[in-house]
Structure 1
Amino acid sequence: MLESDEDGAPGRGKIIQRHKREMKALLEQKRIESGKLMSFAKAKRENKKIEARQEKRDLEDKYKALEDAMKQRHAEELRQASDETPEEASDQPPQASEYVEVEADEGTPGTRKSRAQKKKNLLAEIEKELREGPKE
């Protein structure tokens, strides 16, 4: 048994699963609310295109803010969980997806090709580090 099981605190995997469920629920809620908005075709017929687009933008902005806040909270929870169990965190190397999320959050402008190339280079560096082992 893991020490986190004995302490009653959920493990890192359980926390990540919960985060994924929460994110999926938020996206589902966004999809449902966006379905309630006036369709662009109907707005065009009623000469309310501008209002319909503004409603859509407002909804997108609202959910973008909620999603960003949720990502921040999730990152903080993972940091706290790793602080509580440092021996488990040192056993497993960080996953490539964690590096990619950090890279994507920096908000560097660029084309799709350049972002894909940066991602590819980053993954190559991570794989190289894993093959070489810890630096001494």
Structure 2
Amino acid sequence: MRRNPFEEIEDMFDRMGRQFDSPGMRSFESIPIDMQDHGDEYEVTADLPGYDTENIDLTFSDGRLRLEASREDVEEEADEETYIHRERRQSVSRSLRVPEAVDEDGIAASYNNGTLTITLPKEEADEDEGHRIDIN
């Protein structure tokens, strides 16, 4: 199966973001993510400290996991000119391609102490998926 060229471009931007991530430069990826393969499922762990669960939006579509989170600015009244350095964002998002088919109905997520953990069970291979062709 051939990869979607748009996914390749998005992956390229993710790699570029990691290379250019240095003090004073905004990163293309704003949520640190770890992804593990446990054989029958993937586990994704994301750091989202300071966000409430009702302000975290998690979706899965076309083989991509998308996380979006937003929060109210605690110092909303503060004048922008008073900041010397500001990195904490009000909203962040991240998209991640999952390498294999996932059972979308079995996806589960939990949030504890600022860490979001998502379990993505792999879809079982269908035995009727294709057939052998004899060569004469």
Task: Give the TM-score taking structure 2 as reference length.
Answer: 0.26
- Structure number with higher strand proportion: 2
Return the structure number with greater helix share. 1
Structure whose CA Rg is larger: 1
Instruction: With the length of structure 1 as denominator, give the TM-score of the two structures.
Output: 0.26
